Amino acid sequence: MEYAIHNLSSRIAGKLTPSVELVRFEVHSNGRKKSYPVLLSETIPGINLKNAKGPYNQARYTWMLLLSILTRPGDGRLSNYIVGDNGMLYCVDNDISFVEPVIREWGSRTVYFCSALFCLTKLDTPLDIETLKEFVSLDGDAISMPG
């Protein structure tokens, strides 16, 4: 899931998430071989969003909100984001994504959307217009093509 989110985000907006690689470690002990999958992740320098005060790069913040809408994170906690240089936001934990946001039970619907990013600014804070224009001009077919 980490790789899928990184691949999608890099296709639409560049570097919003760390690069990741899944590798297999083989351990030989007492004549036996055991294999372990290990996810290697690029380190993103910065401050955890839980401890950051802002301001945030408005264009990057807008891209991160759009990515959250597209990927429906199930655990978009403050601790899953890093604030780097110049207020650049990065999401460093994307293992729980594409979560069903609407739960139906007993004839009612409850919406669960878990991203702390939507709580960072006031309702009257504008999104970055240039980022929104760039987003609507994206070629959906080019984004979804393997490559």
What pLDDT, in 10s, does the model give residues 84-114? Answer: 988 999 999 888 888 877 777 788 877 776 7
pTM: 0.81
Cα 85 to Cα 70, 119, 133, 137, 138, distances in angstroms: 25, 21, 24, 27, 27
Residue 146 has pLDDT above 70, yes or no: no
For the chain, what are the domain ranges?
Answer: 2-132
Residue 147 has pLDDT above 60, yes or no: no
More confident position, 123 or 93: 93
Cα 52 to Cα 26, 41, 55, 79, 132, distances in angstroms: 39, 22, 9, 10, 25
Both tokens of 125, joined, read 């804070």
